[in-house]
Amino acid sequence: MADESLQLKTLQTILVMFQSCLQPDNEENTAQALGICLRLLESNRSYSVRNTAAATFRQAVALIFDRVVTAESLPSEKFKFASGVHMSRSNSVTSDITRNITHLKSLEQEFTSGTSLLMRNTLTKSGKLGLILLEDLASLAASGSANWLGVSSLQRTFVLDILEFILSNYVVLFRTLIPYEEVLRHQICSILMTSLRTDSEFEGETGEPYFRRLVLRSVAHVIRLYSSLLITESEV
């Protein structure tokens, strides 16, 4: 019980750090803080600690990418799929897509009307940090390891849930910053296509129906939000 209390306080401290001016702004400290969350998530027997670790990691990821948007001087709300709601979940693909169809159409019009931002290759320090995090998440979703986060494996359902959130809430990053677009094109799309073609018994993935819904939701986001960038991938 004492260990559990200490672990919960550690996670609380990490979240407070990310929510304040104390948010780590270098790769090493950020990786250490996120790595603690993931190790507690994967190795802890306490249901409370695991849930808290998962929630802390999700919120930290959102705060990191919020910071990337600000550092790169990009619009912070206009291009969010579910503005103001972090990690909201839906019970069905149909209801999830239907509820957001109007906003999706407005995004498409915004990006094709000539008012969208020009794509660029340069990144700020925060932009580079967010890119490393995105690359590690993509690697974990592909059943690989995350060298920066210091994690050899992670439940793919959890990772895909995080990636789906990033894809739907930070559209402007992928449509403006070329390094992010390349990760989407070469890594994330590959993961989604492979997952769609895989038999239902996906490597013993727990919660398989939910995993399939996550894949379908992510594919829907790619088609509706990024089809003009990923023409070949969207057709496949």
pTM recorded for the entire structure: 0.81
Reported confidence tier of residue 21, pLDDT bands at 50, 70, 90 = confident
Look at residue 88 and tell me if it is in a domain: no
pLDDT given for residue 200 in this prediction: 46
Look at residue 83 and tell me if it is in a domain: no
Residues 83-99: what's their mean pLDDT?
Answer: 47
pLDDT given for residue 73 in this prediction: 92
Give me the number of domains the chain comprises: 1
Tokens representing 129 are 């940090």
Among the listed ranges 86-90, 103-107, 122-126, 208-212, which one has the minimum average pLDDT value? Answer: 86-90
Tell whether the model's pLDDT for residue 87 goes beyond 70. Answer: no
d(CA 118, CA 142): 30
Q: Which residues pair with 11 in a beta bridge?
A: none
Look at residue 85 and tell me if it is in a domain: no
DSSP letters of 151-200?
BS---HHHHHHHHHHHHHH-HHHHHHBHHHHHHIIIIIHHHHHHHHHS-S
Which residue, among 23, 12, 140, 136, has the nearest Cα to 70 in the 3D structure? 23
Look at residue 223 and tell me if it is in a domain: yes
2-17, pLDDT tens digit by residue? 589 999 999 999 999 9
23-72, pLDDT tens digit by residue? 888 899 999 999 999 999 988 789 999 999 999 999 999 999 999 999 99
145-173, pLDDT tens digit by residue? 999 999 998 999 999 999 999 999 999 99
Residues 63-88: what's their mean pLDDT?
Answer: 72
98-145, pLDDT tens digit by residue? 555 555 555 555 555 544 568 899 999 999 999 999 999 999 999 999
Look at residue 87 and tell me if it is in a domain: no
Using the Cα atoms of residue 235, residue 143, residue 35 and residue 14 in order, give the sign of their dihedral: positive
Reported confidence tier of residue 84, pLDDT bands at 50, 70, 90 = very low
Tokens representing 200 are 């239902």
Look at residue 84 and tell me if it is in a domain: no
d(CA 199, CA 132): 30
pLDDT given for residue 83 in this prediction: 39
Look at residue 80 and tell me if it is in a domain: no
pLDDT given for residue 201 in this prediction: 46
Residues 222-232: what's their mean pLDDT?
Answer: 77
Which residue, among 159, 174, 200, has the nearest Cα to 79 in the 3D structure? 174
Buried b (16+ CB within 10 A) or exposed e, 136-169: bbbbbbbeeebebbebeebbbbbbbbbbbbbbbb
Which residue, among 41, 100, 71, 87, has the nearest Cα to 172 in the 3D structure? 71
Look at residue 213 and tell me if it is in a domain: yes
Instruction: Name every residue whose Cβ is closer than 8 Å to that of residue 186 and which is 6 or more positions away in sequence.
Output: none
Residue numbers of the domain that contains 61: 1-74+94-235
